Structure 1
Amino acid sequence: MKKRNLLTSTILAGSLAFAAIPFNVLAHDELGDVNIEKGERQGYSELAVPVLEGSKNLQFLHEAAAPEMKVVRPDGKQNSFGDVFAHKGYAYIGTHTQNGGNGGVRVFDLKDPSNPKEVAVFGNDIPGTWQEKVIVKSVNTPDFKGDLAVVSVQQISRTNPASKGGFLLYDVTNPASPKKLGFYEVTKKTNGTHELYLTMQGNRAIVLAANPYADYYSHGEEKDFQIVDVSNPAKPEKVWEFDPRTLPEIPEDFNGYHWNAPDGKTRPVFNHSTMVDETGKFAYISMWDLGTIIFDISNPQDPKFLGRTDFASNQQGSAHSAALAKGGNVLIETREVYVPVRPGYESSYGYTRIFDIKDKTNPKLLSEFKTDLVDNIENGTTFANTVHDPKVHGNTLYLSHYAGGVRAVDISDPANPVEIGKYVPEKSDIWGVYVDRNFVLASDIGTGLKVLLKNNGSTPQPGTK
């Protein structure tokens, strides 16, 4: 096991040259004029990278473990890695498409954070698919009580007759022995469910599913954003889906992808990600160049559109993911701009925007946060400098940033965000970040799980505060 004490603010001597990792992963702009696939690491520049820097509440942050991800596939091949989630002292890490996908979700016991133990693999039973995203929640419905995992399933190729996309549902009450409960299938005309979110509303469990390009490829038969009742995980049931044509600014001839926007530009519109606030009442839907759309989903069978974020005419939209802060009154929006130079737009990789949403019908931009990477556009063909996913813990915003590792930002004053720390492993390719109690977990596309501790104290056991 590779263990290092990284409590330092020094800079690594020399430069790290980042290797190309040819993972064949979903291209978000696959219908546009540029087709850059995630993981095609083109044109890395040599960067002097600090291993770890920190201040304020991050001064005691250190890497507890970067375990070697053992091969678990029968064919002896390794997958690339997707997002990371934590629940009751266990880490769940999804997998990507390297070596044909079907890596499933890998479960690690974090009882000893310096020595995570892999205890299970699940969700790898549908041929020709990959399982990037997993959400785990404690659920109590008339049909199921326990810990429920929902796992995104995407087809590597829609022409494979054996594959299908959607999401899987597993009982992980015992994380070492997951039990399959059900599967929700979306139209085979799209790749499947890319990202998703699970929430409770009273005694009802619902999943919000992002199925990119479903509207386009099915000619409107199915939509990109769907709400699915999973109160009985063995029988998931779609209860609503969003048609962008219902918004007043979208013309009736909207074709499910290309939007003739009011600024005169033709912009891509598809659902990339979903999330819900802690009450289960408000949903935040990342619709790329249509911005982050806010719905009241108190009645999931009849959600109400409240408002959305918008962009300056010279900004690529690319609303990728969202997080909330300040009791749900502040919205964090990350924009995955991976082609930084396009005619008619600013030259920049993707950066973070922060909104006041006390009035959810009228989001107001408070600030824009840029790391030191986003203006480094000399190569112009790799998205490794763009921001990816946001997570918030208290007044600290954590951003996964591919080559930039994990960035920590003080948002005590959301109008003036300040970077206060960063963690950048060797050959950094950080996909996801998740904060849970004393843990900051990160997932690296090439090397897998990273476990950071926010202090030097003992790790609380499951069920304790």
Structure 2
Amino acid sequence: MTRTDLTAAADGSAGYNVRRLGYLDIQGGGQVEVHRGHAFVGHMSPPDGTSIIDVRDPANPKVVATVAPPDQYSHTHKVRVVGDLMICNVERHKRHFYRKGERIAAVEEAHRARTGRDPGDAAIAAELGVEAADVPELRAGLERGYRDGGFRVFDISDLARPRELAYVHTGGIGVHRFHMDERYAYISTEMEGFVGNILVTYDLADPSAPKEVSRWWMPGQNVAAGETPDWPGQRHRLHHALRFGDRMFAACWYAGAWLVDVSDIAAPRTIGRFDYHPPIPEPTHTFMPVPGRFDGRELALACDEEHDHVPGQPHGFLWVLDITDPANIKPVSTFHVSERDSPYARAGGRFGIHQFREKMDGTIVHAAWFAGGLRVIDIADPARPTEIAAYVPPPPEGYPAPQSNDVDVDDRGLIYLLDRNRGLSILEHTG
């Protein structure tokens, strides 16, 4: 069966080799992770924060606990769990919107220099790409500032009663996506003196008092030390980094994919980079190794996050990379989903890839493809990634298209597909 064989169902879904076992109508989320028979979901917007959901009966998922964000101006849309510890990010909500407010003074000055008059809200809004009614809120955001970014650590030995152990404040707009293991948290965050997110590693030996052990950044980010970025704004920044063995796989937005040696955790060291911007228009979202070797080669996956699509440009897609020589990373192949392979490709919202599961079982990749839904891809032949199953969920009520945002798989092989706007689908691969 091929990608063009999607079968439509009466509920508005489409797919093949996948069936839905359960569904939970919850607020949309940024990340899902399954642990001990429970799905942990970080929600996109306050007042929803983190939900802990009992999924041991996949046909009847039940929320057993929720954790609210620390305030109405923060979201906690990412979550990680190891053992009895849960970490949630804290990041400024509507961060891209409020960043526009930082340009108001420059817009006013340019307008006065050009016309000799102070600009009204309509003129400011036109320059910033917002509505005139938004300008007072942007000014209020500037006045209010933001000092709550960071991450929170919870004891979840009692899943129904998460207990906060620590709230670590970082800097700027706070923490985005991150990784953790039994000992360390690998945090992507803004920090004072740096432009854009960097990697800050914290020791969790005492989870009630995480201690910073190192920082890694790209040359040009450390402006406090005299470095000068050669890119505008925060285009070059760490999205997040995943640790596998003694290496970090760092996805760095419009700076591409970076390999970092962390054999000395106190002194991370760049050992390789693959940047394809330009010509590829979408930023690097996730970078991860493939287990095993293929004809002696070591491989990795990368994916780009699609934003508003520009006609004539490729949709966000999946890369297969040869990282055998970190100093000479090379593309092996790519995998794309055609607009014909989803009934909602042009209905509204984004279409291309957002994220893949950050762990592989053999050669199988599970990817969340926005309006393209779930895509299950086999890279046994790295030169020809092959889709083996797909599921496009029906749009949540009130939305024109699904926006599949994240995916995880539990130890039973069940698949958890989280929509950015609303809903968690629990699926079974039947192929």
TM-score by structure 1 length?
Answer: 0.71
- The residue correspondences of 1:211-250 to structure 2 (distance < 5 A) are 211=189, 214=190, 218-220=192-194, 224-245=198-219
Q: Does 1:96 align with 2:64?
A: no
Which residue of structure 2 lines up, in the alignment, with residue 28 of structure 1?
Answer: none
Would the aligned equivalents of 1:91 and 1:107 in 2 still touch at CA under 8 Å?
A: yes
1 or 2, which has the higher helix percentage? 2
Alignment CA distance shift 1:395-1:208 (3 Å): same
Q: Does 1:335 align with 2:304?
A: yes
Measured in 2, the distance between the counterparts of 1:124 and 1:286 equals: 26
Q: Does 1:198 align with 2:180?
A: yes
- What SS does the corresponding residue of 1:272 show, helix, strand or coil? strand
2:232 corresponds, among 258, 264, 269, to: 258
Q: Identity rate of aligned residues, in percent? A: 23
Alignment CA distance shift 1:222-1:301 (3 Å): farther
Would the aligned equivalents of 1:374 and 1:386 in 2 still touch at CA under 8 Å?
A: no
Measured in 2, the distance between the counterparts of 1:174 and 1:306 equals: 41
1:243: how far off?
A: 3.0
The C-alpha deviation readout for 1:45-64, integer Å capped at 9, x for no partner, is: xxxx752213xxxxxx3211
- The residue correspondences of 1:394-409 to structure 2 (distance < 5 A) are 394-409=362-377
Would the aligned equivalents of 1:307 and 1:363 in 2 still touch at CA under 8 Å?
A: yes
Which residue of structure 2 lines up, in the alignment, with residue 168 of structure 1?
Answer: 152
Measured in 2, the distance between the counterparts of 1:292 and 1:412 equals: 22
Which residue of structure 2 lines up, in the alignment, with residue 321 of structure 1?
Answer: 286
Which residue of structure 2 lines up, in the alignment, with residue 210 of structure 1?
Answer: 188
Q: Does 1:276 align with 2:276?
A: no
Would the aligned equivalents of 1:337 and 1:386 in 2 still touch at CA under 8 Å?
A: yes
Measured in 2, the distance between the counterparts of 1:119 and 1:420 equals: 34
Which residue of structure 1 lines up, in the alignment, with residue 24 of structure 2?
Answer: 67
Which residue of structure 2 lines up, in the alignment, with residue 429 of structure 1?
Answer: 403
Measured in 1, the distance between the counterparts of 2:346 and 2:15 equals: 27
2:80 corresponds, among 126, 135, 138, to: 135
Which residue of structure 2 lines up, in the alignment, with residue 185 of structure 1?
Answer: 169
Alignment CA distance shift 1:321-1:451 (3 Å): same
Measured in 2, the distance between the counterparts of 1:340 and 1:253 equals: 33
1:112: how far off?
A: 0.8
Amino acid at match of 1:182: A
Would the aligned equivalents of 1:109 and 1:117 in 2 still touch at CA under 8 Å?
A: yes
Amino acid at match of 1:153: V
1:219: how far off?
A: 4.2
Alignment CA distance shift 1:220-1:51 (3 Å): same
Which residue of structure 2 lines up, in the alignment, with residue 117 of structure 1?
Answer: 62
1 or 2, which has the higher strand percentage? 2
- What SS does the corresponding residue of 1:354 show, helix, strand or coil? strand
Query: Structure 2, unaligned stretches of length 5 or more?
Result: 99-140, 396-401
Amino acid at match of 1:454: H
Would the aligned equivalents of 1:223 and 1:242 in 2 still touch at CA under 8 Å?
A: no
1:222: how far off?
A: 8.5
Amino acid at match of 2:150: G
Would the aligned equivalents of 1:339 and 1:380 in 2 still touch at CA under 8 Å?
A: no
Alignment CA distance shift 1:191-1:374 (3 Å): farther
Q: Does 1:368 align with 2:346?
A: no
Q: Does 1:149 align with 2:86?
A: yes
Q: Does 1:83 align with 2:31?
A: yes
Q: Does 1:387 align with 2:369?
A: no
1:90: how far off?
A: 0.8
The C-alpha deviation readout for 1:84-112, integer Å capped at 9, x for no partner, is: 11111110011112xxx131110111111
1:439: how far off?
A: 1.4
Query: Structure 1, unaligned stretches of length 5 or more?
Result: 1-7, 17-48, 55-60, 70-78, 139-146, 260-266, 457-465
Q: Does 1:287 align with 2:252?
A: yes
1:349 corresponds, among 292, 315, 326, to: 315
Alignment CA distance shift 1:356-1:107 (3 Å): same
Measured in 2, the distance between the counterparts of 1:226 and 1:63 equals: 39
Query: RMSD in angstroms over aligned alpha carbons?
Result: 3.1
Larger radius of gyration: 2
Would the aligned equivalents of 2:197 and 2:239 in 1 still touch at CA under 8 Å?
A: no
Would the aligned equivalents of 1:127 and 1:162 in 2 still touch at CA under 8 Å?
A: no
1:434: how far off?
A: 0.7
1:186: how far off?
A: 1.2
Amino acid at match of 1:177: R
The C-alpha deviation readout for 1:335-367, integer Å capped at 9, x for no partner, is: 11324439xxx6122111111223333322110
1:382: how far off?
A: 6.7
Measured in 2, the distance between the counterparts of 1:96 and 1:11 equals: 29
- What SS does the corresponding residue of 2:228 show, helix, strand or coil? coil
Would the aligned equivalents of 1:206 and 1:229 in 2 still touch at CA under 8 Å?
A: yes
Aligned residues between the structures: 362
Measured in 1, the distance between the counterparts of 2:231 and 2:240 equals: 16
Which residue of structure 2 lines up, in the alignment, with residue 53 of structure 1?
Answer: 16
